[in-house]
Chain A
Amino acid sequence: MNFKLVYASLSITLKEFYRSKASMFFVLLFPIILMLLFGLIFQDQGETVYDLHVRDLDGGLNSQNITEMLGNTEIFNIIEVGDEVGDIDDAKDYLTEHKLNAMLVIPEGYSDGFDAIMIDRFLGIPTNDTVDVVMIYDPANTAAMTKISILNSIMDGVNKAATGMPDVLVLEMETTVSDDFDYIDFFAPGIIAMSVMTTALFGTVTINTELRQKGILRKLATTPLSRSEWLLANILYQLCMAVLSTISIILIGVGLFDLNPHLNLFLPLFVILNVFAFSGIGMLITRFVKEAESAHAAANAIMFPMMFLSGTFFPLEGMPDFLQTFAKVLPLYYVNEGLRAAMITLDEGTLMTSTIVLIVLAIVIFILGVLLTSWKHD
Chain B
Amino acid sequence: MPETIIQVRDLVKQYGDNTAVNSISFDVNEGEVFAFLGPNGAGKTTTVEIIETIRTATSGDIQILGMDVNKNRTEILKRIGVMPQDFSSFDRLTVWETVQYYARLFGSDVDIDRLLKLVNLGEERDKHYVTLSGGLKQRVGIAVALVNDPEIVFLDEPTTGLDPRARRDVWEVVKDLKKRGKTIFLTTHYMEEAEVLADDVAIISKGDIIAHGSVDGLIDRFCSTIHVAIKGAGPGVKEIADEMSLVSESLGNGNVQIEAENNEQVVEILNSLKNKNIGYGSVDIRKANLEEVFLELTGESLIDKGDAK
Query: Which of A's residues lie within 8 Å of B, judged by CB?
Result: 4-5, 8-9, 12, 15-16, 19-20, 214-216, 218-225, 375-378
Contact = CB atoms under 8 A, between A and B. Distances in A.
Contacts of A376: 53-56
Contact of A225 (B52, B82, B93, B105): B105
A8 B88 contact: no
**Ranked 8 nearest A-B pairs via Cβ:** A222-B82, A214-B88, A19-B92, A8-B104, A223-B105, A221-B54, A218-B84, A16-B92
Nearest to B74: A224
Interface in B74-120: 74, 77-78, 80, 82-93, 97, 101-102, 104-107
A223 B74 contact: no
Contacts, number: 71
Contacts of A4: 104, 107
B92 A20 contact: yes
Contact of A12 (B86, B93, B107): B93
Contacts of A5: 104-105
Given A5-B104, A8-B104, A16-B90, 10 more contacts: A5-B105, A218-B84, A222-B54, A222-B82, A222-B84, A223-B77, A223-B105, A224-B107, A376-B56, A378-B56
Nearest to A16: B92
A174 B191 CA distance: 85
A16 B93 CA distance: 7
Interface of B: 15, 52-56, 74, 77-78, 80, 82-93, 97, 101-102, 104-107, 128, 144
A269 B79 CA distance: 42
Contacts of A9: 101, 105
A213 B128 CA distance: 19
Contacts of A375: 54
A185 B270 CA distance: 98
B56 A8 contact: no
B157 to A, nearest CB: 11
5 contacts: A15-B93, A215-B84, A222-B53, A224-B107, A377-B54
A219 B144 contact: yes
A5 to B, nearest CB: 6
A15 B97 CA distance: 10
B144 A12 contact: no
A225 B89 CA distance: 16
A377 B55 contact: yes
B88 A224 contact: no
B54 A215 contact: no
Contacts of A216: 88-90
Contact of A378 (B15, B88, B93, B128): B15
Contacts of A219: 82-84, 87, 89, 144
